[in-house]
Amino acid sequence: MENMNEKSKKRHSHRRKSPNDFAKTVVIFVCVELIIVVGAIIGVNKTACNAVHKLEAAMPKSVMDLQINPNQDTYVSLDSKELDYGSFVADIIVEKRGIEAPVYYGLNRVSLRYGAGVSIDENANAFGDNANTFIAAYDETYFKSLKYVESGDKVKVKTADKTIIYKAVDVFVGDEGDSRVKDYKNNLILYSIFSDYGENSGKCFYVICEKTGEEVNAK
For each of the chain's 219 residues, which pLDDT tens digit applies?
A: 555 555 555 554 445 555 556 555 655 665 556 665 444 444 444 444 555 555 555 555 455 556 777 888 899 988 878 888 889 999 999 999 999 999 999 888 888 899 999 988 766 777 877 789 999 998 889 999 999 999 999 999 999 999 999 999 999 999 887 889 888 988 999 999 887 776 777 789 999 999 999 998 876
Q: Determine, yes or no, domain membership for 153.
A: yes
Position 29 in a domain: no
Overall pTM surpassing 0.85 (yes/no): no
Instruction: Kindly state whether residue 77 falls inside one of the protein's structural domains.
Output: yes
- Structural domains of the chain, count: 1
Domain presence at residue 15:
no
Does residue 100 lie in a domain region?
A: yes
Residue 165 in any domain: the answer is yes
Rounded-to-integer distance, Cα 85 and Cα 63, Å: 7
| Residue 13, in any domain of the structure | no
Q: Looking at residue 186, which CATH number applies to its domain?
A: 2.40.260.10
From 154, 155, 159, select the one nearest 217 (Cα to Cα): 159
Per DSSP, 197 falls in state S
Nearest to 55 by CA among 206, 204, 210: 204
Of the candidates 162, 206, 158, which has an alpha carbon nearest to the alpha carbon of residue 184? 206
Closest CA to 105 of 121, 94, 122, 90: 90
Is residue 20 in a domain? Answer: no
Which range marks the domain in which residue 128 is found? Answer: 49-216
Segment 8-27, tens digit of pLDDT:
555 544 455 555 565 556 55
Alpha carbon distances (Å) from 154 to 19, 80, 94, 104, 168: 67, 28, 6, 21, 7
